[in-house]
Amino acid sequence: MTGNRDMTAETDFLRPLVTVDVVILTLKDGGLQTLLMKRAAEPFRGDWALVGGYIHPEEDDDLEAAARRILGVKAGIAAPYVEQLQGFGDRRRDPRGWTVTFAYVALIASEGMMLSKGANADSVAWWPVAGSGVEPALAFDHTRILAAAVTRIRNKVEYTSLPVHLMPPCFTLTDLQRVYEQILGRPMDKSQFRRRIAEAEFLEAVPGEFRLASNRPAQLYRIRAGLSTIFFDRTI
Amino acid sequence: MTGNRDMTAETDFLRPLVTVDVVILTLKDGGLQTLLMKRAAEPFRGDWALVGGYIHPEEDDDLEAAARRILGVKAGIAAPYVEQLQGFGDRRRDPRGWTVTFAYVALIASEGMMLSKGANADSVAWWPVAGSGVEPALAFDHTRILAAAVTRIRNKVEYTSLPVHLMPPCFTLTDLQRVYEQILGRPMDKSQFRRRIAEAEFLEAVPGEFRLASNRPAQLYRIRAGLSTIFFDRTI
DNA sequence: CCAATAGTGTCTTTCAGACATTATAAC
DNA sequence: GTTATAATGTCTGAAAGACACTATTGG
**pLDDT at site A218:** 96
Q: Where does chain A have alpha helices with state H?
A: 7-11, 63-75, 142-159, 173-184, 190-200
Residue B21 forms beta bridges with which residues? B52, B103
Question: What's the CA–C1' distance between B4 and D12, in Å?
Answer: 67
Is A12 a residue whose pLDDT tops 80? no
pLDDT at A187 exceeding the cut of 90: yes
A71 touches chain B (CB under 8 A): no
DSSP lists the bridge partners of residue A27 as A32
Say if the Cβ atoms of B5 and A41 lie within 8 Å: yes
**pLDDT tens column, A110-132:** 765 555 554 455 689 999 999 99
**A84–B84 CB contact, under 8 Å:** no
Alpha helices, DSSP H, located in chain B: 7-11, 63-75, 142-159, 173-184, 190-200
User: Where does A61-120 show beta strands of DSSP type E?
Assistant: 81-90, 99-107
pLDDT at A212: 85
- Preceding omega of B217 cis (within 30 degrees of 0): no
CB B63 within 8 A of CB A90: yes
If contacts are CB pairs under 8 Å, which of residues 161-220 in chain B contact chain A? Answer: none
The structural domains of chain A, ordered by start, are 7-156 (3.90.79.10), 160-223 (1.10.10.10)
Chain A CB contacts of B71 under 8 Å are none
Read off the pLDDT of each residue in B47-62 and give the average, rounded to a whole number: 95
Estimate to the nearest angstrom the gap between the alpha carbon of A62 and the chain centroid: 18
Q: Supply the pLDDT for residue A4.
A: 37
Q: How far is A70 from chain B (nearest CA, A)?
A: 10
Among A41, A25, A40, A183, residue whose Cα is nearest residue A104: A25
B3 and A53: CB-CB below 8 Å? yes
pLDDT mean over A201-218? 91
Given a cut of 50, is residue B11 above it in pLDDT?
Answer: no
Per-residue pLDDT tens over the stretch A215-226 = 999 999 999 988
What would the mean pLDDT of B207-227 be, rounded to a whole number? 91
pLDDT value, residue B14: 64
